Amino acid sequence: MIPVRGYAGATVAVLGLGRSGLSAARALREGGAEVIAWDDNEAARDAATLEGFALKELAKPGALDGAACLIVSPGIPHLYPAPNKVVRAAWDAGVPVDNDISLFFRSFATPAWDNFERMPKVIAVTGSNGKSTTSALIHHILTHAERPTQLAGNIGRGVLDLDPAIDGEVVVLELSSYQTDLARALTPDVAVFTNLTPDHLDRHDGMGGYFAAKRRLFAEGGPDRCVIGVDEDEGRYLANQLSGGNGDDRVIQVSSGRKLSGPGWSVFAKKGFLAEMRKGKQVASIDLRGVAGLPGAHNHQNACAAYAACRTIGLAPRVIEAAFHSFAGLPHRSQLVAEKDGVKYVNDSKATNVDSAAKALQAFRNIRWICGGLEKDGGLEALLPHLGGVTKAYVIGREAPSFAMKLGDLPHEVCSDMVTAVARAAEDAEPGDTVLLAPAAASFDQYDSFERRGEDFIACVERL
């Protein structure tokens, strides 16, 4: 646990008692704060009561009187589409609103660091797609290189559940836009931006607000190094804003699919080969085509970002390359579940939006595509140019017929549920085919998370 510093003897309110909220409450108490907490969910309140936290309905008049701060969990809207009523109450009472990410950055460094030979570092990763894989890959590379490391944030543990730093440690944080948007303190040593595609637009009032939330990780804390994916205009804009001019190696540009040139520092992947360029010269190259845990161009982009982040802290290219080959990938992200009679079964349930599904579809050929679910804003039009490798679609979800109608001339079958879709795809599949779950939609019409949807796919495959 990271005890929160700066609130000893003060009253701090915590709104939301899920994983991050309870973690923040414990760390605040460990740091000497008096915690008052609330969650609209009765089970969450009961769990907090069992841990001895005082409950107080924070939306009631006067509930925040005397509070030094309000800590808000990431799932609770603080501005769009409308501020939570407790957040409004904090504004009216003049109580600062913050989150656990900010508490971590304020509390991670301690006087004990004065005795360390190598200062601990924080690598923070954000973006629309690939941030989980990139974060896990960085952590894996560090582990392979025998560097002390911990992984937390939007993946793994809550940030305040981390152990206190030790000499030379590197903490890897995956941060969502919900987390970066509200945090008052954001001071990573290395910040990584993977890419930007439409997602969570209701929480940020459109693409501009969404990008602004991501940008805060770079603009607020002034990281020593920035790794920026430049395959979209927003990334190119961000890289340009952060750079002091040609040859500024504080900014490393990353791309998948095109060669980057110029006097600066860049890492790109093209036709399956990763190249590192510095001052106009290639200094390293890695063949990614045989890396089983990183299939497809989208994973090659993740590999470039992780490679660049690890190079900033001094790891050698061959050490990173060796670690790539032992990386198994993450569940529900281009996860090879099984291979039977020459047919591969791949679980990419995390492909909850059109862009991530398009990238998954480009990673394979002869695809039997399981898709559908709760469709997100923007429709499926942007996905249609990427269906060339799909032999047939098998559509699931409560609105499967309407989803199927938007697939144009693509051969398809409305299956509604996962059991039927997997069975029909397996019956139709021929040697060399890939049965791919890449829904291009949220899971909440039939499942409570993309993980549960992926687990259902795996269970159906295992029953074949």
Q: Which residues are annotated as a binding site?
A: 127-133
User: How far apart (Å, rounded) are the C-alpha atoms in residues 344 and 271?
Assistant: 22
375: DSSP letter: P
Cis peptide before 385 (omega within 30 of 0): no
Q: What is the pLDDT of residue 330?
A: 85
Q: What is the pLDDT of residue 151?
A: 97
Q: What is the pLDDT of residue 159?
A: 97
Q: What is the pLDDT of residue 295?
A: 87
- Count CA atoms closer than 13 A to 365's CA, side-chain side: 2
User: How far apart (Å, rounded) are the C-alpha atoms in residues 305 and 312?
Assistant: 11
Q: Which of 45-49, 124-128, 219-223, 264-268 has the lowest mean pLDDT?
A: 219-223
- Does the pLDDT of residue 201 top 90, yes or no? no
Cα dihedral across residues 262, 290, 461, 394: positive or negative? positive
Question: What percent of the chain is modeled with pLDDT above 70?
Answer: 100
Question: What pLDDT, in 10s, does the model give residues 26-69?
Answer: 999 999 999 999 999 999 999 999 999 999 999 999 999 999 99
- Does the pLDDT of residue 202 top 90, yes or no? no
Q: What is the pLDDT of residue 245?
A: 84
- Does the pLDDT of residue 379 top 80, yes or no? no
- Does the pLDDT of residue 357 top 90, yes or no? yes
DSSP assignments along 333-354, one per residue: SSEEEEEETTEEEEE-TT--SH
Set out the domains of the chain in order of their start, with CATH numbers.
Answer: 11-98 (3.40.50.720), 105-325 (3.40.1190.10), 335-462 (3.90.190.20)
Q: What is the pTM for the complete model shown?
A: 0.87
Task: Give the mean pLDDT of 200-221.
Answer: 92
| CA distances in angstroms from 347 to 205, 290, 357, 398, listed in the order given | 31, 19, 11, 20
Nearest to 159 by CA among 149, 151, 147, 167: 151
- Does the pLDDT of residue 400 top 80, yes or no? yes
Task: Give the mean pLDDT of 2-6.
Answer: 97
Contacts of residue 408, Cβ cutoff 8 Å, sequence gap at least 6: 384, 387
Give the confidence band of 381 by pLDDT, cuts at 50, 70, 90.
Answer: confident
Coil, helix or strand at residue 41: coil
Q: What is the pLDDT of residue 356?
A: 87
Q: What is the pLDDT of residue 257?
A: 83
- Does the pLDDT of residue 221 top 90, yes or no? no
Q: What is the pLDDT of residue 247?
A: 77
- Does the pLDDT of residue 464 top 80, yes or no? yes
Rounded to the nearest angstrom, the gap between the alpha carbon of residue 282 and the centroid of all alpha carbons in its chain is 30
Q: What is the pLDDT of residue 344?
A: 95
Torsion angle in degrees (nearest 10) through CA of 409, 410, 413, 419: -160
Residues 113, 179 contacting (CB under 8 angstroms): no
Q: What is the pLDDT of residue 123?
A: 98
Q: What is the H or E stretch that residue 254 is in?
A: strand 251-256
Question: What pLDDT, in 10s, does the model give residues 9-22?
Answer: 999 999 999 999 99
**Helices vs strands, H then E, count in the chain:** 15, 20
Q: Which residues are annotated as a binding site for ATP?
A: 127-133
Question: What pLDDT, in 10s, does the model give residues 283-302?
Answer: 999 999 989 889 888 899 99
Q: What is the pLDDT of residue 407?
A: 93
- Does the pLDDT of residue 200 top 80, yes or no? no
Task: Give the mean pLDDT of 95-104.
Answer: 98
- Count CA atoms closer than 13 A to 229's CA, side-chain side: 31
Task: Give the mean pLDDT of 433-440.
Answer: 96
Question: What percent of the chain is modeled with pLDDT above 90?
Answer: 85
Query: Tokens 């407790």 label which residue?
Result: 86
Provide the residue type at 21 as one letter.
G
